[in-house]
Structure 1
Amino acid sequence: MDRMSAMDAGFFFIEDENVPMHVGSVLVFEGPAPSYGDVVRLFAAKLGTVPRYRQRVKALPLHVGRPMWVDDEHFQILYHVRHTAVPSPGADDQLRNLAGRLFAQRLDLAKPLWEVWLVEGLEGGRWAIISKVHHCLIDGIAGSDLMQVLLDWREDAPLPEPVRWQPSDNPSTLDLVVDGVRDAVLTPVTHLAKFPALAKRLRSGSEVLDFGRAVLGSLPTTARRLAAGTPKTLNGPIGPHRRWVWARADLAEIKAVRRVTGGTVNDVILAAVTRGFRDLLAKRDDLADGQVVRSMVPVSMRSSAERGVLNNRVSAVLVNLPVSEPDPLARLASIREQMDDLKGSRQAAGADVLTNLSNFAAPTLLALGSRTAMRFPQQLLQTVTTNVPGPRIPLFMLGRRLSEIYPYVPIASTMRVSVGIFSYLDQITFGINADFDGVPDVQVLADGIRAGFDELVTTTAN
């Protein structure tokens, strides 16, 4: 029996009517659009490589154990692969509005936790795929590997023949409860058994001791960052509806800025995102001296041996986006300094250690704790900024070239805005997700991100 990890179970339990916890994407292709039947046949032929896509979640009574993955004996691919179209002229705004409505809708938790929409009618003969996958099933980095399920490196790739699938018998509720109780007892014991090795490493002055010193040494800096003032209008209750917009940048212009300023591509991207939030807050008259927008930046902890594994192996660091700073180069320098400090202090590794401590929690407390944490009012974080690297070579589906990919990252708790970032070929794309009522001006943020790149390119070219 395949049981969810503690982190995956947390994402599953967080979901409620206002917090759909799926990630998603909009993939835009050159035309002409394939038939709906061809798309269904493609999925039917490829699903054998991702068995989880035919499994549903089985929660245990009273949450005596973490939820299980079991085969869906009633799996019907036509439920998960759907078909729609946008009205003429099929402009970007119409596609974004459609995607926003679809992303706001929860997945059916009684079925396999994914769905795909074939969208026809885009201007220029283009078409799109809108995909949704629950966060408990996959994280962004694993999603890059799973693109091979749908996309191919060759334009003329043959369509494989579908393989007949027979669901396995589901375990009884009694078996699940017994196994859940056993897991609740043995998991803490398993983790505690690792403590002697940890103690030995501590005594030998190993990397754990080095990490402890780094954390203690960084406490004053961390406290100072957390003490910085944050805006009030980016936090608050969220409703069931979403606004979703996008922005674009070229990798060449980002590299041109980096050649002058140093740092990384990600530093430049975060600096442009900072400009976007600065414009948004200025338009709201909510910008103050010394103010920051604090972002959680997920970091993949997946080793090379784990690529393609369907689970969540992510950690996170906190970064202050210096929105009150008017100088674009000073904003970039501040972000670069923080990111260098975070890498040096190994806080990302520390965050992963803290995340893994959730394996000690009883599943019932995990369920309650996950929901409570996401509903508790707080001003610590204002956004999540997720940057997922993609392939640098063209991809195809059914012989049609993929031209653009835009990501969708969920919002939860009191964070009303998230920023997903994806790279493909020589383009960087941003998918900005926002609460419909709390952030009606989200387009200002998207336009500000684009203006941030223009500003950095102009400034560094002089």
Structure 2
Amino acid sequence: MTDGVPQIPPSAVDVDLSAVADGWDRSMSDLETGMWRMEESQPLLRTPIVAVDLLDRPPDWDRLVRAHEWASHIVPRIRMRAVEPAFGLGNPVWSVDPEFDLHYHLRRIRLPEPADFNHALRICRHLGTEPFDKARPPWVAMLIEGLDDGRAVYVVKTHHSMTDGMGGIRMMTLLHSRRSAPSPNKPDRLPAPPEHLTNFEALGQDVLEEVRKTPGRITGLIAGAARAAVGAVADPIGTASDALGYANSLRRIVTPPPATGLPLLRGRGLGRWFGVLEVGLPEFKAAARAAHGSLNDAYVAALLGGFRRYAQAHGQQIGPIPMGMPVNMRPASDTSGGNRFAAVRFAGPAAEADPVERIKKVRAIVLGLREEPAIDAIDLAAPLLKRLPNWLLADWYLSQSTGLDLQASNVAGVPVPVYLAGARIERMFPFGPAPGCAVMATLVSHVGTCCIGVNLDTAAVTAPKLFMRCLQESLDEVVALAGPTEGTQR
């Protein structure tokens, strides 16, 4: 979740090579390790991030291939696979694939006539549900041509252990240009040399990585203990109060939301359905201001209103629904990949019929969550959780995520027109992973338009077109707070 100002992406000639390449750890973090391994025993926990670009025309294929080759020089992670350490005694290590084949990862298809954007979305959905070949770098991209209106679709899928939503957006900007013409003088570097890392060598590298980080961790622990000791002597009552406050915050963070959810969404399965919504960014912001909320508050309130309408369409009453939301922990200066987020859960006020009151309630909840001292509790617990057997970790996580009807994410996007190998990008639709939850909705802003990608579990949402219509009606209702405007559903 973010309300930050979208960052203007660099053009190909403006790339700072050191800034882009630095900051990528060789070993997966404990959180990333959990995401990478859990799906082996529980396919419901697969975590692909899928980004869909709608282009005004097919891009030049040769330029597109060269752009991906160039990006793999700038960001070595694009050429890296994950190597498991021997005996599973550490975190997987990223290593340059000695058999890296760009043409395996970058694909091209043409749809049979007749074809429109919805047909392309089906291909994107199928691509998103296919498991990764974990012997290769965990990403795949595809150009989809043959749309009746002359447009094309570019879709890229990455594993969540490789990067989070914000990191993925920043990686994709490397392929974008602010002009349609080629950039012949963009900076370049030699590709990372192939590596033949064995499982035992991966274990050694992970151990060295842990040793390298240990002094800083110890220093931090000592400094923290010293501050705590000084604080306890200077203000024993205040220190005890802070400790109690953190304990209470931790209890709130780890306790499931006090909501049972919508009974008709109880099913869970491997089927996925992609839907999209869009609305003007100025209109959406104006609607949020009219209700004294932020764009993110209005976005979440619109989603909850859609759930309310869907329940009513099935003749069911709805109360607060359990939902989750990632909180971006990435500094604006962080240009690396990897994962920098925390997760919060709460009871979304879906029963509130008045969109203004719903926005106000969402705002009060979200502001309170952002101030929770224990907001990073799961990240802190990750070193312990990853030591659980994979099946036990997967069962635990699934028990937490299947209780959520909705996860909602909001990622700052691109505020200026950009091109992909000569084709103008008209829309960017993001589809976050839905590991165990019924609905995952993600918003990215693109040149004045809020593009919302909705990833539905079809075992939970058995009437996806009806559900999307309910979301559209709720979105229109929220936007109408600022005047007579309307969103568009595809």
TM-score surpassing 0.5?
Answer: yes
Matched with 2:276 is 246
Structure 1 pair 171/450, CA: closer, same or farther in 2 (3 Å)?
same
Matched with 2:37 is 13
Distance 2:428 2:470 in 1: 20
* CA displacement at 1:406 relative to structure 2: 0.6
Runs of at least 5 residues in structure 1 that lack an aligned partner in the other structure: none
Distance 1:261 1:412 in 2: 32
**Residues 115-158 of structure 1, C-alpha deviation per residue, up to 9 Å, x if partnerless?**
10001112321111011011000101112221222101223241
Matched with 2:8 is none
Identity of aligned residues (%): 23
Structure 1 pair 455/197, CA: closer, same or farther in 2 (3 Å)?
same
Structure 1 pair 263/317, CA: closer, same or farther in 2 (3 Å)?
same
* CA displacement at 1:379 relative to structure 2: 5.9
Matched with 2:375 is 351
One of 17, 23, 30 as aligned partner of 2:49: 23
* CA displacement at 1:51 relative to structure 2: 0.4
**Residues 48-97 of structure 1, C-alpha deviation per residue, up to 9 Å, x if partnerless?**
11100101010123311111111111111110000012233322221221
Runs of at least 5 residues in structure 2 that lack an aligned partner in the other structure: 1-24, 233-237, 485-490
Distance 1:76 1:408 in 2: 26
One of 412, 416, 426 as aligned partner of 1:389: 412
3-state SS of the aligned residue for 1:350?
coil
* CA displacement at 1:6 relative to structure 2: 0.7
Structure 1 pair 222/168, CA: closer, same or farther in 2 (3 Å)?
closer
CA contact 1:201–1:208 (8 Å) conserved in 2: no
One of 353, 357, 362 as aligned partner of 1:335: 362
* CA displacement at 1:351 relative to structure 2: 2.2
CA contact 1:187–1:359 (8 Å) conserved in 2: no
3-state SS of the aligned residue for 1:351?
coil
CA contact 2:38–2:45 (8 Å) conserved in 1: yes
CA contact 1:298–1:315 (8 Å) conserved in 2: yes
CA contact 2:342–2:379 (8 Å) conserved in 1: yes
TM-score, with structure 1 as normaliser: 0.88
Residue type matched to 2:472 in 1?
Answer: R
CA contact 2:180–2:424 (8 Å) conserved in 1: yes
One of 257, 267, 286 as aligned partner of 2:287: 257
3-state SS of the aligned residue for 1:262?
coil
CA contact 2:253–2:374 (8 Å) conserved in 1: no
Alignment of 1:399 onto 2:399:
no
CA contact 2:125–2:274 (8 Å) conserved in 1: yes
Matched with 2:172 is 147
Matched with 1:59 is 84
3-state SS of the aligned residue for 1:358?
helix
Structure 1 pair 397/379, CA: closer, same or farther in 2 (3 Å)?
closer
* CA displacement at 1:389 relative to structure 2: 0.9
Give the superposed CA RMSD: 3.0
3-state SS of the aligned residue for 1:233?
helix
What is the number of equivalent residue pairs in this alignment? Answer: 452
Worse-matched range after superposition: 417-426 or 173-182: 173-182
Distance 2:381 2:400 in 1: 23
CA contact 2:407–2:441 (8 Å) conserved in 1: yes
Correspondence list, 1:369-380, <5 A: 369-376=392-399, 380=403
Correspondence list, 1:378-457, <5 A: 380-413=403-436, 415-457=437-479
Residue type matched to 1:249 in 2?
Answer: V
Alignment of 1:230 onto 2:240:
no
Worse-matched range after superposition: 371-380 or 322-331: 371-380
TM-score, with structure 2 as normaliser: 0.83
Correspondence list, 1:63-82, <5 A: 63-82=88-107
